[in-house]
Every structure is written in C-alpha cells, then in structure tokens.
Amino acid sequence: MVSFRHEISPEVKTMATLFKQAGYNTAATGTSPEFWTYEALKKSFSKDFDEYQFSHGRLDFARTPDWPTIKNTLQSRQRPFFLWIPLGDAHSPFGAMAKNHYADENYGGPFADLLFFTNMQFYYDGWFYNPLDPGKQFEVLIYGAPNREMHTPTKDSFPARNWPVKATEADYKFLNDMYDNGVREVDREVGRLLRQIDSMGIGDRTVVILQTEHGEGLGEHKYIAHYDILDTQVHTPLIISSPAIKAGRSDILVSGVDILPTVLDHVGIPSPPDLDGKPIFNKLGEVGPGREEVYMTRSPLWESLIKAKGDNARFDRFRALDDRIGFKDHGIRTKTAKLIHRTARLVEEQFSCWTFVSGKKVPRLEYEFYDLVRDPMETRPLPPMGEQAKIMMTKLKDWKTDVASRARSTTLNPSVQDYR
C-alpha cells in the first residue's frame, strides 16, 4: 500500500484470498475506520472476505465491533475460519469512548478542550497553537463523501487562552492516561473474544494473533500521534498463541511481512513463492533466530489526507506532487542501531501541517543514525559516519532497489480528482 488513494493490484493475493482458496470461511469486522472510509482501501481489503462489516469507526467515535459477525464466524463449524478484527480503540482521539480509569477528571489543559482527530495538528515542539484560528482550520479528506472537521471543542464554552500555550508535565500525563484508557478498552475487547472462543470449546484448535499496527508518539519527538518510523511508532507487540507453539517470550527481530508466511506454514497452507517474509517458528513450534535487520517505510505522509478550510491550494498542490512521486522515508534497524533515509524531508519542510499552523519549519537531516544502546528513545540523531552506519546504508539502498524492482503497480481510485 502506498497511500489511502491507491488500490492493490488485482493479481495480488491477500491473506483472505489464500485462506478462502484453502476452504476457510473468511470474515472481517472492526472499528478502524480506514477500511470503510476510503473506497480504495475498502476495495483492496474487502477482497475475498465472505463477510466484511465495518459499520462503525473512529469518525463517529463508536468503538464496538460487530459481535454478531464475530459469533457467526466462530460458530461456522462446517469449515475452518479466518477472522480479522482491526480494533481502533487505542487510536487517537485517545480514549474518546473508553471509560476513564486513569486520567485526572479535573484536568483543564488544552488536551481536554479539544477533540483532536489525531492529537497532532495544533501541538508541535512543546507548544499548543490556537485551534480556533479561522485561517488554520482542517478537515479530513474523505474521497467521495462529505469532509469531516478534524477538531471540535468538547466543551460548550471554549476557555480563553493566550496562544500559543506551553505544554506542561500535567498535559503529557493526561495525554498518556487517556491513551492508557484506550489500551485498556482494547484489552477488554480481546478478552471478550478469547472468552467467546473458550466457551465454544475451540480454544485448543484456534490460533490467535495480536499484532499492533503502530504505536504512538506522545510528545517524545515534538509531536503527537504516529507520524514517523521512530521506535515509539514502529516497535510494536506481537503475540501469537497456538496449542502447537511453546510458550515464552523472545526478543528476536521480526517484520510485519513475516506474519503471513508464519500463519500459512503453521496451518499447512503453501506460501506463494514471492513472499518477502519468512516463518517465525519452525515445524516444532520453536522460535527461530529471527532477522539480522528489519526494514520500514513511512508512507503516506499525513498531509495527503487533510484539507485546509477555505483556501486548500496548499494541500492540493502537495497531493498532486505525491501522486506523481510518492513521498516516503525508509529505515533499517538492527538490535543496536537504526538508520533512516528521509527522502521526503524537503517536501515535508514545505507542506507540513505543523508548518502551516505554527509557521515553524520542520528541519530534517537526509540521514539519521541512532545508537539504540546509548539513545534508545532516538532523541539524538547522529551523522552516518562509522563503519556500522555505512554497512546499513548500503543494505538499505540495496533493499530499496530490490523492492522497486519487484513492486506491483497500483492504481489511483477513479473517484479521486487528478490534480496533475
């Protein structure tokens, strides 16, 4: 996937395709809105699912998946099932519909005043900027549907403030606590699913995988939400439960592309010959050695999904360039170091939504090298000068060339205006 506006090539076989071809009942239901909001993604991801129910989502702040679909799939005893449930509960706006267990009920800072759609547009570099400035309003761009305002005052009377406002420790604590409320809600939904599986007596022959798509930046790198390929956003949990896997915890490096061949190999479905990933376990259910390094790409840039209310020429111009070029950053990570190549740095300086709101440029080095032993939070980028950095740079270059040579073509959704 290269953007929310592109469709996967028809010849590409998804996980649902492979399971359906193997005789499985396939179903998808969840609360992540991308899969029903954007027509290109809906068309790509709904392919070969017998049921595809995404009637709720973050945009209307409903958080409960379609449990009738889940129960019907689990009760389908005629054939095995593949059930995909992407949950948006931990996504921003953090804890929007979750019961409050952690946050200060009396908190009155800027994070309480706004329902930030992704908690990022009006916060940057430790400062909150005026969200009611008529020249800085945003809408989320939904193709083929009415645009949605991305922020709404959550109180009847918006408190008067002298903008910009410097963020405090109380602000960061409230934000983290609201995020924890969302994580707790995910835990509750997953627990409900596991209890349902056990109550039906199929727990001893069901494989359950919990994968976090991304993490969130919570102020550590001057912004809020998932906007980068730093570890706060790409180092995520992966839990696999199966009667045939030995229990334990491993710190090996694996990539998201390893999940598909792992599952196929585990249940005895042949893998297509051109998969990037490799099984995490061997035939005995033992964890393998993992990878020496993993690769990552940041795409799409957030600015491709927003509009400025009023004069939108700025972000239309960005989309026109993005459709031709496809802006992205790439990274390579070992257990001890990470190298990021920021090929989108110049366009980000020009079109960043933070620059639009704050007037500040977002400076980026072309290459950022991080020593993860001495700097695990990746706050001190180094120039890639040492031998390790040079080896990683060569590997990253070779990987990008290889991916480009094997990439399947994608097509823009025809309902999207072509700004070119």
For the chain, the three-class secondary structure string (H helix, E strand, C coil) is CCCCCEECCCCCCCHHHHHHHCCCEEEEECCCCHHHHCHHHHHHHCCCCCEEECCCCHHHCCCCCCHHHHHHHHCCCCCCEEEECCCCCCCCCCCCCCCCCCCCCCCCCHHHHECCCCCCCCEECCEECCCCCHHHCEEECCCCCCCEECCCECCCCCCCCCCCEECCHHHHHHHHHHHHHHHHHHHHHHHHHHHHHHHCCCHHHCCEEEECCCCCEECCCCCEECCCCCHHHHCCCEEEECCCCCCCCCCCECCHHHHHHHHHHHHCCCCCCCCCCCCCECCCCCECCCECCEEEEECCCHHHHEEECCCCHHHHHHHHHHHHHCCCEEEEECCCEEEEECCCHHHHHHHCHHHHHHCCCCCCCCEEEEECCCCCCCCCCECCCCHHHHHHHHHHHHHHHHHHHHCCCCEECCCCCCCC
Least confident of 11-15, 178-182, 191-195, 411-415: 411-415
Distance CA(235)–CA(110), nearest Å, equals 29
Least confident of 60-69, 167-176, 231-240, 374-383: 60-69
pLDDT of 416 > 60? The answer is no
| Token pair belonging to 128 | 């909150």
Whole-structure pTM over 0.85, yes or no?
Answer: yes
CB distance 341 to 105 below 8 Å: no
- The model's pLDDT over 258-290, given as tens digits with 9 standing for 90+, comes to 999 999 999 999 999 888 899 999 878 889 999
- The model's pLDDT over 366-406, given as tens digits with 9 standing for 90+, comes to 999 999 999 999 999 999 999 999 999 999 999 999 988 88
For residue 213, the model assigns a pLDDT of 87
CB distance 326 to 5 below 8 Å: no
pLDDT of 34 > 90? The answer is no
**Number of structural domains the chain divides into:** 1
Residue 408's Cβ-count burial label (10 Å; 0-12, 13-18, 19+) is exposed
- The answer as to whether 51 is a domain residue is no
CB distance 334 to 328 below 8 Å: no
Distance CA(95)–CA(418), nearest Å, equals 36
- The model's pLDDT over 317-352, given as tens digits with 9 standing for 90+, comes to 888 888 888 888 999 999 999 999 999 998 888 888
- The answer as to whether 346 is a domain residue is yes
- The answer as to whether 342 is a domain residue is yes
- The answer as to whether 389 is a domain residue is yes
- The answer as to whether 363 is a domain residue is yes
**24 or 144: which leads in pLDDT:** 24
For residue 418, the model assigns a pLDDT of 36
Buried/exposed code over 185-214 (b: 16+ C-beta within 10 A; e: otherwise): bbeebbeebeebbeeeeeeeebeeeeeebb
- C-alpha torsion angle, residues 71, 73, 79, 84 (rounded to 10): -130
Q: How far is CA 394 from CA 36, 46, 69, 155, 384, in A?
A: 39, 38, 48, 53, 11
What HEC string does 234-303 produce? Answer: HCCCEEEECCCCCCCCCCCECCHHHHHHHHHHHHCCCCCCCCCCCCCECCCCCECCCECCEEEEECCCHH
- The answer as to whether 200 is a domain residue is no
- Structural domain including 347 reads 295-412
Angle between helices 169-199 and 67-74 (to 10 degrees): 40
For residue 314, the model assigns a pLDDT of 83
By C-alpha distance, which of 323, 417, 415, 420 is closest to 42? 415
For residue 145, the model assigns a pLDDT of 56
CATH number of the domain encompassing residue 386: 3.30.1120
| Token pair belonging to 136 | 């800085």
Distance CA(236)–CA(81), nearest Å, equals 26
CB distance 390 to 376 below 8 Å: no
Task: Give the model's confidence band at 419: pLDDT under 50 very low, under 70 low, under 90 confident, else very high.
Answer: very low
Residue 359's Cβ-count burial label (10 Å; 0-12, 13-18, 19+) is exposed
pLDDT of 420 > 80? The answer is no
- The answer as to whether 15 is a domain residue is no
- The answer as to whether 371 is a domain residue is yes
pLDDT of 248 > 60? The answer is yes
For residue 158, the model assigns a pLDDT of 59
Q: How far is CA 288 from the centre of its chain?
A: 26
